[in-house]
Amino acid sequence: MKPAMIEMDYPALQAIGLTPSLINAAFSLPEATLPSVHMARIIEIARNRFTVHNGARSFPLQAQTRLMIELDSSEHTLAVGDWVLVAPKDPDEDWIVAQVPPLNHIARRTSDGQRQALVSNIDTALLVMGLDHDFNPRRLERCLSMTHAAGVEAVVVLSKMDIGIEVEARIANLHSRLPKNINVISINGLSEATCTQLEPWLTPGHTLVMLGSSGAGKSTLTNTLLGNQTQQTGLVRQNDSRGRHTTTARSLYRIPGGACIIDTPGLRTWNIDADMEDISGCFSDIETLAAQCHFRDCQHLNEPGCAVRDAIDPDRLRNYHKLLREASRTQQSVLERKAELQRWKATMKAGHARLKEKRGE
């Protein structure tokens, strides 16, 4: 096997998030031995067209059809934040020939159960939620489950302090509801003071991603951190604070202090890509109390001697059970889901038959 020949300007690539672990992963790829191959990071995706940055400039590229077929067959996709190997296609054009295995990725499940990577190689996720009608602790806990499953640190960012509803009560409610180890920051996304509040996570080479619903204030916050109006922002409806998708693609930007930030469109569906263990880890407060329950298999519903039921916010406990059910379904294979559906249909059919028998029909 020929020695690896990857060309790179490490300081320039380090500034946009390259680490020694990613370099080692890149040099282990077969494509690393191709002539004139170099590393780049995907900073935007529009259908099958990718924009990458090589540390010096950004430019559009396409990926090899072979690579896209291989990724699709293994339930993987290229995502913003991915590192890739780029090689010459012809004298005037390059293309993406390999994906460097990501250190992590935040993903969701589509309606047909397929995994969809949203972003890759993330250090911190900023979970943005408005203190107006966007305030939804259940949705926030779903986001926390996604980031926990990916092994990504999450920081809860409560936006719109200046125009929120019952701001102090909502902030207090969230602090009492969430585990103490989760950072919760309240901001006015238009204020320059926000940069100071988020400074611990804005170190050079650090990669952050904004996650939240449409109208939560992600693009406003991105513009404040960048110091310009890079991202278009839009008004929200007054009655429910729902926003339009002013951000239509996931895009990676460099913040003046040196960090990288990925703004994302608001997601209408958040089907979690996590197993039951990941969910339990996100609800560590419930798991800790569960060790004190009288019954080892306590479900924290109506069992006597439950240490959880009276100590945890009832809505948080209901959301915990809901997410566990979703995670259980996610872990099932297609055949298992079909078998469960058949059992459910058989049970319903038997129930209808007994009801008809009672009626004498």
**CA nearest 159: which of 105, 223, 107, 106?**
223
pLDDT at 240 over 50: no
Instruction: Report pLDDT for 90.
Output: 84
Averaged over 205-209, what is the pLDDT? 95
The burial of 336, by beta-carbon neighbours within 10 Å (0-12 exposed, 13-18 middle, 19 or more buried), is given as exposed
Cβ 89 vs Cβ 81: under 8 Å: no
Return residue ranges of the chain for CATH 1.10.40.50.
Answer: 276-347
Averaged over 189-215, what is the pLDDT? 91
Return residue ranges of the chain for CATH 2.40.50.140.
Answer: 10-99
Return residue ranges of the chain for CATH 3.40.50.300.
Answer: 105-263
Query: 339: which residues sit within 8 A by CB, 6+ positions away?
Result: none
Q: Which CATH class is domain 105-263?
A: alpha beta
Cβ 203 vs Cβ 254: under 8 Å: no
Instruction: Report pLDDT for 237.
Output: 35
Read off the pLDDT of residues 133-189 as tens digits, 9 standing for 90 and up: 989 999 999 999 989 989 999 999 999 999 989 999 999 999 999 988 899 999 998
* In this structure, CATH architecture of domain 276-347: Orthogonal Bundle (1.10)
Read off the pLDDT of residues 293-302 as tens digits, 9 standing for 90 and up: 999 889 898 8
Read off the pLDDT of residues 269-322 as tens digits, 9 standing for 90 and up: 567 777 888 888 889 899 899 999 999 889 898 899 999 998 999 999 999 999
**pTM: predicted TM-score of the whole model, two decimal places:** 0.81
Q: Which CATH class is domain 10-99?
A: mainly beta
